[in-house]
Amino acid sequence: MIDLAVLRTAVGELEEDTVLALIDEVMAAGGDEAQGAMEACREGLGTVGDLFEAGEYFVSDLIYAGEIMNQAIGKLKPALLKSAGEGLGKMILCTVEGDLHDIGKNIVRAMLEAAGFEVLDLGIDVSPAAIVEAAKKEEVSIIGLSGVLTLAVTSMKATVDAFKEAGMRDNVHIIIGGNPVNEVVCGSVGADAWAVNPQLTVSTCRAWAEESR
């Protein structure tokens, strides 16, 4: 039995060695505690998000937290598959057309996956048509659009418009994120929500996922 509170704190304090040693212990004991360990990691990651929002952690801490979580999930995966619980479902994430930046998107993806989403990452420079097509094919109702450059705003709007043209706008929730995004941009783009920190993205998407259950 590992102390889940210690694991939670270690993730929150970005103590990589402690986190991985505790996860190894869970797996060495047969993996029965994997679900509990995963939950503790999620809670620890929540602390990381809170500290980021409070200005105590910075982007490099989020990236490092994502790296720790990726390793932890990788180790826990065999045991988690055995006792698969209900996740938060699928969602789409990508950097919009014209923009090649993916650092923010990748941070958010790590956080969303840790929260329980199955993230369909469409990559960078993704056209509105490709996003709509993927949403249709995969029957996804939550769409995360990321961008760093100011030109991303135009593509975000084009993507929202493409959902309208496809007659799917009322079936999807769209959140936009990244450097050029704010309340005014969200309004002009016609998205449902906006975020400049991953914690807010996770909580918004989680609320949508739970609402649609």
Partner 1 sequence: MSQTVEAIRRERTENTQNIYDDKIPARVPISVSLAPAVIAGYAGIDIRAAYWKPSLLKEPAIKLAEMIGSDAAIYGGSIYTPVSSQTLRSINKVMSSTGYMQHPNTVCMEPDEYDELIADPYAFIIEKCIPRLYKSLDPQSNPWKNILPLLQESQLRAAVAREDMELRQELNERFGYPAPPRMNGGMGRVAMDWLADQLRSFSGICIDVRRNRAKLIEALEAIYPMIYKIGVAKDLNNIDRYSSTGFQLHMATYLREKDFAEVWLPTWKRQVEDYASLGMRISAFLEEDWDRLLDYVYELPAGSVFSFEKTDAKLLKEKLGKKFILSGGFPLQHLTQCTKDEIIGKTKDWLDIMAPGGRYIFGFDKGAITHHDVNVENLIAVCDTVREYGTYDNPGAATGEAFDKSIFKHSELPQFKSKYYKTWEQYLAEFPYTPDEARSMVMQSEDAMLATMFSMTC
Give yes or no for a contact between 24 and 73, defined as CB atoms under 8 angstroms apart: no
190 binds partner 1 (CB under 8 A): no
165 binds partner 1 (CB under 8 A): no
Which residue in the set 20, 134, 149, 193 belongs to the binding site for partner 1 (CB under 8 A)? 149
21 binds partner 1 (CB under 8 A): no
**Binding segment for partner 1 among 3-11, 26-34, 144-152, 168-176 (CB under 8 A)?**
144-152
**Binding segment for partner 1 among 18-26, 62-70, 160-168, 190-198 (CB under 8 A)?**
62-70
Q: In 3-state terms, what secondary structure has residue 49?
A: helix
DSSP state of 180: T
Give yes or no for a contact between 192 and 173, defined as CB atoms under 8 angstroms apart: yes
* C-alpha of 172 from chain center: 17
Which stretches does DSSP call E strand in the chain? 89-95, 117-121, 142-146, 173-177, 193-195
How far apart (Å, rounded) are the C-alpha atoms in residues 145 and 142? 10
How far apart (Å, rounded) are the C-alpha atoms in residues 20 and 150? 39
Give the nearest distance from C-beta 123 to partner 1 in angstroms. 11
Give the nearest distance from C-beta 106 to partner 1 in angstroms. 7
Q: In 3-state terms, what secondary structure has residue 41?
A: helix
Q: Of 53, 54, 55, 64, whose CA–CA distance to 19 is shortest?
A: 64
61 binds partner 1 (CB under 8 A): yes
Backbone angles phi, psi at 90, to 5 degrees: -90, 150
Which residue in the set 4, 91, 99, 122 belongs to the binding site for partner 1 (CB under 8 A)? 99
Which residue in the set 43, 102, 133, 192 belongs to the binding site for partner 1 (CB under 8 A)? 102
Which residue in the set 154, 171, 197, 203 belongs to the binding site for partner 1 (CB under 8 A)? 154
58 binds partner 1 (CB under 8 A): yes
Query: By CB under 8 A, how many residues form the interface with partner 1?
Result: 32
Residues that bind partner 1 (CB under 8 A): 14, 16, 55, 57-61, 63-64, 67, 97-103, 106, 124-125, 127, 149-151, 153-155, 180, 182, 184-185
